[in-house]
Amino acid sequence: MWSLMAVTLVLAAAEALVPGRLDKITDLGWSIHEDTVHWPNNKAFVYTNKIAEEKPDGKWYASNDYCSGEHLGTHLDAPYHFNKFGWKVGDIPLEKLIGKGICVNLQESSGAGTTLQPGHIDNWERRNGKIPKGSIVLINFGWGARHYEHESYMGLVNGTLHFPGVSASAAQMLVDRHITGIGVDTASIDPGTSTDFKAHRILLQANIYNMENLKIPLWMPEKGFNLVVMPINLRDGTGAPLRIFAVPNSENVGLPTPEALKDVVVSDCTPWYAHTWLVLLSLLVTVMYAVHGFSIY
């Protein structure tokens, strides 16, 4: 009995340390609507001409116009954003928009002052080997949990923003690794307090696109997935709203995620008698232990 409990405790501890495993195609973006987070100096997303009505003949018709800044919600920064000679959104080759994904997880240490440092990348490489050329790199600050609380997410204090970001030295290290793109779960690649936007400049100068306001699960694995990056094809865009999702690949290892396990137990598809059987089984085991004095003999 005690050894069984010990094994269970060890397994539980191991599960806490091992990143999750992607069990399905996973959406890494937030949907866009009229309350989507945006920079104060850019336009918010707004519908300008909403039609949703039954026509006199009883047939339904719906259509919207919309107006929006490029750099709001989950979006991509084209290199041209900070690099006069860089790609605009419509110039980015398709082969740069799909590739091997990796994730550097910093959420356990993240406060608003956290910055990705070269040491964090060293740690990732000690566990997984050198970042493959052409990777699309996610930095998971765990900041997405605040996404719907705009004040907390932007960290606005006395007119200054406060949220985590990428240091200039880490940006340069990723350029040296020849990555294709980088994405964060905050409003900017640079930390909120930045005024010189060094990470933006270093990465975009190297034609590496940025992705901001991503929705990265807390349990995101360090590798084992490909990323599909689909900005709206704005020909002259300095940025564009973005659809992005992760697809498990052959390196997909690790334990099922807490969310996947939750799906198994409380999924809408689970019939009522499955839960009843679990309760009855638990009662039976309890009674057996009581009758046998907590001995299996």
Binding site residues, Zn ion, CB under 5 A: 71, 77, 239
Instruction: Considering the complex, state which of residue 73 and residue 155 has its C-beta at the smaller distance from Zn ion.
Output: 73
Closer to Zn ion by CB, 217 or 239: give it: 239
296: Cβ contacts below 8 Å, ≥ 6 apart: 1
Cβ 73 to Zn ion shortest distance, Å? 10
Cβ closer to Zn ion: 81 or 100? 81
Of 250, 256, 189, 181, the closest CA to residue 217 belongs to: 256
- Residue reference for tokens 């959406």: 27
Q: Which residue is nearest to Zn ion (CB)?
A: 71
Q: In the complex, what is the shortest distance from the CB of residue 190 to Zn ion, in angstroms, rounded to a whole number?
A: 10
Nearest distance from residue 10's CB to Zn ion, in Å?
45
User: In the bound complex, what is the minimum distance in angstroms from residue 181's beta carbon to Zn ion?
Assistant: 13
CB of 281 to Zn ion, least distance (A): 53
Q: Which is nearer to Zn ion, 155 or 239 (CB)?
A: 239
Distance of alpha carbon 97 from alpha carbon 136, whole angstroms: 9
Which residues does residue 61 pair with via DSSP β-bridges, in sequence order?
53
CA distance 140 to 183: 9
Alpha-carbon gap, residue 247 to 23, rounded angstroms: 9
Instruction: Tell me how crowded residue 287 is: count the other CB atoms within 10 A of its CB.
Output: 10
Rg (CA), the chain: 23
Residue type at 108? Answer: E
* Complex with Zn ion: residue 79 or 101, whichever CB lies closer: 79
| Pairwise CA distance, residues 264 & 258, whole Å | 10
